[in-house]
Every structure is written in C-alpha cells, then in structure tokens.
C-alpha cells in the first residue's frame, strides 16, 4: 500500500494547485483522475472557450474594419482548422501538466478514485493511504431528464464539433449559454436562446442584463425568455424544442443544453467515509475547506460557491500553505469578493454587490453612478449601436465602492485592477482623485459625476 501526505482526487485546477504547492513545500502527493490533466478549464472550459472566443472576436472586428476605411474580404471561418489547432493546443497543455507533476515529484494515477475511509483511497485495483484527502472533482453539465433530452448536446460536446451547424437553439441564459450564443452568432450561425429566466445573466446586476440584451438584439440573436422547455422532438439535424403546453420552436440543426452544472460528487464513496453531502450534491466545508470528517477536504465547484477556476486555484494554494507554510500567514478564500467576467460578445465584468444586493444590505445609504456611451472603436458606425455601459455601486457616508458592473469591449481586461481597489475598500473619492488614462474606456470609471439613489429593481421604470 502506498503512503502519502496528500491524496488528491481530481486533476483539475484546484487539485493540481494544492498538489503543486504542497510538493513545493516538500510534501508527498498523488493526483487521481481518469481524464486528461487540467480538468474542465483546460479540456472543456476556460481555455478552449477563450481560444474560440478570440476567433469570433477577430471575425467580428474584421466585419467592422470597413468603418475605418480598411478594405477586407471576409469569407468566414475555417472552423475545422480552428478545431484542429485548438485540440493540439489542449493536448500540449495536458502533456505539460503530466511532465510538470513528474518534475515536482507528484505521482499521477490516471484512474477513477473512490474513498474507502477518511485516509484511504482505492483506484485501479490498488489502495493508497494519506494523512489528508482533498476532493476536487469539479462539475459537469446538467442535462434535464425530459422527453428527447438525448437530442441535445452540452458544452462538453461543443468542443468536439469539427463543423458548425447552420442553426442552433441554446437552452439557458446563463454565462455558458450566452458565451456560446455570442461566439456562434459571430461565426454566422442562426442562434436562438430559450430560457426560463426573465432576463439574461439573471445572477448579474440588472444593468448588465439589460445592456447585453441590446447587443444580442443588434447581433440578431433571437431570444425567448420566460419559456419553460418541456422536451425535444424530431431527429438529429432537425430538432424542435417544445415549450409550455402548446408551443414549439425549430427545427434547429443542433440544440445545446446550457441550464447549469452540477458537482461531480456521486458514486465516489463520500457516504462510506461519512462526508456530508447536501441535497444539491455539494459538499459542506468550513473556512479552510475541511468537511465534517477531519482530514478530508473539498474545494472548487463541488462546494457550491465561487465555481470559477481562479477560485479553486486560490483555495488549493492557500490550503497547502496553511498546512505546510504557516509562516506565510495564509488566509482563507473570501467568497464575497470574487471578480468575474463572461466572455459574451461583448464581454461583461463584475465584482462585489449588485445594486439590488447593496440596497438590501445598506438601504438608503446606497448611491449609484453609471454611464452609457458608444466608444471610439465604433465612432464611424453607420447605424445606432448598443452601448458600452458601466456602473459603480457605492454605500455609506464615505461612498465606499461595493460593486462594479460593466458591459463592453475590453472590460474583461480592465476589471482586475479595479477589483483590487474594491477589496481594499476604495471610496468614490479615491476613484475621483485618480488621474484618468485618456482616451480609454477604463477612464469612465474614475470620471463618473451624476449619482442616483439605489433601487431594489433599478430597471422597473424601464421595463
């Protein structure tokens, strides 16, 4: 039987982060995962998504180049070429991680692992013992069990496609569905979004939803919101979406399920080891990621908060420092201050509280500063365009900035620095005293002048 300091179940962002950092401190670690190393982020998530987004972004920019007098002939996208290059790049990342773990002295077992008890894991017919066990198995797309569900694909399947469909229905208006919608529409696919939600990106500030919908309208993305899907009918290549009691949309060449993800915590021995699993399949942990079973830890998507790659990485690294390098004074992850971006077209970016959340907490002490503008990148557009939009949510007499929300090109790149300011407790006056960089979009956040009281539903008057 093999003995280790840490047994890590899951070779994604969080699992690799804790194993890497622990090995750097001299600990002996082993990582179990039957899939290629890198997890969802490398294989079916962040990395292939951003590569595809870049292709869509370049194509979109090319279509607007004539506004500046640039003559281009744009014939479309060689999607098979993109898919091939993307696949090769991901295999390179898988190989990198395998070699990197070997150089670190971390063992890699490409097998599915199951908990036997709080210190024991079985995988590939062998048994492994460890002082600590870290569960970081990530999530997987949800496919609702309804008639015809097998006629729909998932985001995992999307990255296996070598050809684009002519038309697609995307079921779900969260970040995955809308990222796919924007990319596919940029490639020329006829895109329809069907969702139960009353607004797109419902978990974001209402302003973000409202402005992004205007961009989707401009791009020709059809939306059917507030619609409950009952099933899929037809056959591959001609699928219809049944909605409500008597409506249907289609036919579509493809249908994509984008109704959320669920943690991969089933059938891995958690109950046998006594680990508490909530009804929604997430694992309950304390501030240092420890479950109810001493010595068993969980991090990443499976704990049900902050399901983002950098969050899992931060949790893994800080956990290893907490164990093996306490002199670094590591602190637990603050799940309330997580900056996030959706790579829609254009991107959205947010950190901190939405306006309704701030009003619920601070009441009348909330003031909002916001702006909409066209931007120089589309200064010569031949028709009205959807705007770039930004919002500061401030609270208290000192107007501490508790939320930033943006929609528009480059907001994904500008949020990181502003997220530091929010975490440090910056006020509106701090923003005002910062010299703007001109002409940029980011300068708008430090030149906002007119405020209004915060509202629970800031779009009520506009609805």
Per-residue pLDDT of the chain (463 residues; tens, 9 = 90+): 789 999 999 999 999 999 999 999 999 999 999 999 999 999 999 999 999 999 999 999 999 999 999 999 999 999 999 999 999 999 999 999 999 999 999 999 999 999 999 999 999 999 999 999 999 999 999 999 999 999 999 999 999 999 999 999 999 999 999 999 999 999 999 999 999 999 999 999 999 999 999 999 999 999 999 999 999 999 999 999 999 888 999 999 999 999 999 999 999 999 999 999 999 999 999 999 999 999 999 999 999 999 999 999 999 999 999 999 999 999 999 998 899 999 999 999 999 999 999 999 999 999 999 999 999 999 999 888 999 999 999 999 999 999 999 999 999 999 999 999 999 999 999 999 999 999 999 999 999 998 999 999 887 655 4
| Active-site entry in 25, 149, 210, 438 | 438
- DSSP-derived letter for residue 400 is E
Which of 393, 371, 387 shows the shortest CA–CA distance to 443? 371
252 and 274 together in one domain: no
The residue with tokens 């709080």 is 118
85 and 124 together in one domain: yes
252 and 286 together in one domain: no
Would residue 335 count as lying in a domain? no
What pLDDT score does 461 carry?
54
Q: Alpha carbon 420 to chain centroid distance?
A: 20
100 and 156 together in one domain: no
Would residue 425 count as lying in a domain? yes
Would residue 459 count as lying in a domain? no
The Cα 385–Cα 8 span in angstroms is 49
Burial of 177 (0-12, 13-18, 19+ CB in 10 A): buried
Q: Between the CA of residue 253 and those of 81, 194, 213, what are the distances in Å?
A: 21, 15, 24
For the question of residue 438 being annotated catalytic, the response is: yes
The Cα 196–Cα 144 span in angstroms is 13
Q: Are 190 and 167 in contact (CB under 8 A)?
A: yes
Would residue 460 count as lying in a domain? no
Token code pair at residue 88: 């090769």
What pLDDT score does 376 carry?
93
Residues present in the chain in total: 463
Q: Which of 232, 259, 286 is the last residue of a domain?
A: 259
What pLDDT score does 458 carry?
85
Q: Are 123 and 33 in contact (CB under 8 A)?
A: no
User: What do you get for the CA distance between the two ends of the chain, in Å?
Assistant: 65
Token code pair at residue 357: 């959340």
356 and 421 together in one domain: yes
- For 430, the enclosing helix (H) or strand (E) is helix 428-432
What is the reported pTM? 0.95
Q: Are 177 and 196 in contact (CB under 8 A)?
A: no
23 and 126 together in one domain: yes
Would residue 156 count as lying in a domain? yes
Would residue 334 count as lying in a domain? no
Would residue 122 count as lying in a domain? yes
Sign of CA dihedral 384, 385, 386, 387: negative
What pLDDT score does 463 carry?
46
E-strand ranges in 408-457 read 451-453
252 and 266 together in one domain: no
The β-bridge partners of 233 are: 240
Domain carrying residue 25: 2-140+262-328
Q: Are 93 and 38 in contact (CB under 8 A)?
A: yes
The Cα 296–Cα 99 span in angstroms is 27
CA angle 238, 241, 243 (to 5 degrees): 160
445 and 390 together in one domain: yes
Strands 296-298 and 126-135: parallel
Would residue 353 count as lying in a domain? yes
Domain count, the chain: 3
Which of 139, 131, 118 shows the shortest CA–CA distance to 14? 139
């Amino acid at each position: 039987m093999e003995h280790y300091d840490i047994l890590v179940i899951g070779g994604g962002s969080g699992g690799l982060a804790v194993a890497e950092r622990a090995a750097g401190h001299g600990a002996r670690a082993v990582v179990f995962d039957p899939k290629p190393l890198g997890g969802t982020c490398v294989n079916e998530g962040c990395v292939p998504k951003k590569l595809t987004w870049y292709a869509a972004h370049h194509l979109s920019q090319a279509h607007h180049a004539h506004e500046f007098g640039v003559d281009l002939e744009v014939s479309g996208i060689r999607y098979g070429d993109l898919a091939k290059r993307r696949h090769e790049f991901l295999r390179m990342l898988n190989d990198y991680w395998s070699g990197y773990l070997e150089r670190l002295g971390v063992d890699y077992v490409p097998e599915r692992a199951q908990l036997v008890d709080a210190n024991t894991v079985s995988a590939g017919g062998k048994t492994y013992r460890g002082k600590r066990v870290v569960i970081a198995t990530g999530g997987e797309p949800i496919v609702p069990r309804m008639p015809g569900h097998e006629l729909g694909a998932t985001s995992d399947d999307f990255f296996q496609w070598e050809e684009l469909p002519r038309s697609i229905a995307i079921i779900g208006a969260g970040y995955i569905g809308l990222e796919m919608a924007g990319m596919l529409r940029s490639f020329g696919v006829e895109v329809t979004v069907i969702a139960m939600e009353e607004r797109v990106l419902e978990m974001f500030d209402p302003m973000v939803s409202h402005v992004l919908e205007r961009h989707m309208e401009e791009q020709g993305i059809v939306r059917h919101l507030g619609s409950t899907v009952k099933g899929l009918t037809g056959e591959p290549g001609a699928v219809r979406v049944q909605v409500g009691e008597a409506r249907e949309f289609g036919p579509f060449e493809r249908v994509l399920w984008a109704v959320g993800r669920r943690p991969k915590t089933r059938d891995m021995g958690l109950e046998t080891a006594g680990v508490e699993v909530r009804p929604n399949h997430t694992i309950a942990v304390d501030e240092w990621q420890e479950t109810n079973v001493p010595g068993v830890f969980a991090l990443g998507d499976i704990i049900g908060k902050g399901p983002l790659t950098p969050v899992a990485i931060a949790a893994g690294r800080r956990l290893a420092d907490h164990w093996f390098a306490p002199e670094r004074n590591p602190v637990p992850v603050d799940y309330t201050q997580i900056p996030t971006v959706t790579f829609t077209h254009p991107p959205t970016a947010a950190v901190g509280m939405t306006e309704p959340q701030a009003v619920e907490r601070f009441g009348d002490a909330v003031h909002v500063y916001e702006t909409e503008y066209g931007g120089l990148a589309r200064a010569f557009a031949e028709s009205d365009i959807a705007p770039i939009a930004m919002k500061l949510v401030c609270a208290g007499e000192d107007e501490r900035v508790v939320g930033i929300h943006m929609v528009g090109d480059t907001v994904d790149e500008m949020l990181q620095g502003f997220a530091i300011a929010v975490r440090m407790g910056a006020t509106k006056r701090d923003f005002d005293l910062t010299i703007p960089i001109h002409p940029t979009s980011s300068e708008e956040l430090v030149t906002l002048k007119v405020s209004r009281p915060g509202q629970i539903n800031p779009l009520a008057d506009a609805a």
